[in-house]
Amino acid sequence: MPHQNSPKLAFCCPTIDAQPWADAMAKALPEAQIQIWPDCTEQADYAITWAPTQAFFDAQPQLKAVFALGAGVDGLLKLRLPESLAVVRIEDGGMAAQMQDYVTHALLRHVRRFDQYAQDIRAGKWIQYPAQDHASFPVGILGLGELGSKIAERVRDIGFPVVGWSKSPKTMEGIRCFSGEELYKFLSMSRVLVCALPLTPHTQDILNEQHLSLLKPGAYLINIARGAHLVEEDLLKLLASGHMAGACLDVMRTEPAPANHPFRSHPQITLTPHISAMTLLAPSIAQISQKIMSLRNGQAITGVIQRGRGY
């Protein structure tokens, strides 16, 4: 039963139904006092958010930590937040396995020419193309964070040569890792590029004509990160020139993609509606509730964002 010293939690998830999340949290932390914005009558200690509003944070100045129901926090960091407020992201939460599946599917669909076969069949054609060797499709993983590293391991394990790039040096078995100023070298070794970067001022528009032109001829892009990483006009230009063979995009600069957006009807582009990794309720609530208890016990937690670098 809640009492005066119970943790006070507030959910602010205006674009999704917060009630199932609040119900699950009530089971994980039965002693907690839980409110859902905008029906918050008391100041909360901790917030659990998805696409929160500035009005929420203005009304809750006493917050000690805010937990984002996702791995990306770029939208959250655009708001005016107190400097003392800890911003905590979900660490995996069931997303890594989903992203591994998504990238594996997109990669194999391209290498096995399944899109081409589908177009041929619809056009009344029956053509068998020569088989393509995995070795001819070196895969570059742009971003070797928690999720990017798991993707790199899966792609390596199904037999593709893999290179990776991260801001700071990393070491991974069976994967050649690049960092910092080695971006151009990394790109030149990649025929399939998977973007798994956080969105920061430094990574916005990183998938531009200059960088994508460095990929091997016949390159393929898989973007599971953020739409703002990609300069859309540059991708169209490189597809028209033949330098790039296609793209599988789970994210767009504007979501949903406008009905008249050229990506929707482009024969070399596959779109999905930001579903490469959906936050799973049970593991995410278990993770957040444990971290709340750790904070209340004065213990350090992982997943806290460094505001200066944006992740």
CATH superfamily of 8-93+279-296: NAD(P)-binding Rossmann-like Domain (3.40.50.720)
Considering the candidates 211, 274, 296, 307, report the single residue annotated as catalytic: 274
Distance between CA 116 and CA 109 in Å, rounded? Answer: 9
Name the one residue in this structure whose structure tokens are 């203005």: 58
Q: What pTM was estimated for this model as a whole?
A: 0.90
Report the CATH number of the 95-271 domain. Answer: 3.40.50.720
Of the candidates 226, 243, 264, 266, the residue annotated as catalytic is 226
* Amino acid 93: pLDDT: 75
Mean pLDDT along residues 8-34: 96
Catalytic annotation present for 274 = yes
Residue 27: φ, ψ to 5°: -75, -35
pLDDT tier at 159 (50, 70, 90 boundaries)? very high
Closest of 42, 95, 62, 66 to residue 225, by C-alpha: 95
Residue 29 near residue 7 (C-beta atoms within 8 A): yes
Asked whether the predicted pLDDT for residue 1 surpasses 50, the reply is: no
Active site residue 89: no
- Residue 64's nearest CA partner among 40, 41, 47 is 47
CATH 3.40.50.720 in the chain: give the residue spans.
8-93+279-296, 95-271
pLDDT at 4 (0 to 100): 55
- Is 80 exceeded by the pLDDT of residue 114? yes
Q: Which amino acid is at 311?
A: Y
**Dist CA 130 CA 272 (whole Å):** 28
Give ∠ CA 255-75-202 in degrees, rounded to 5. Answer: 100
Please state the rounded mean pLDDT for residues 201-229: 97
- Between residues 65 and 94, the one the model is more confident about: 65
Structure tokens at 213: 């032109």
pLDDT at 6 over 90: no
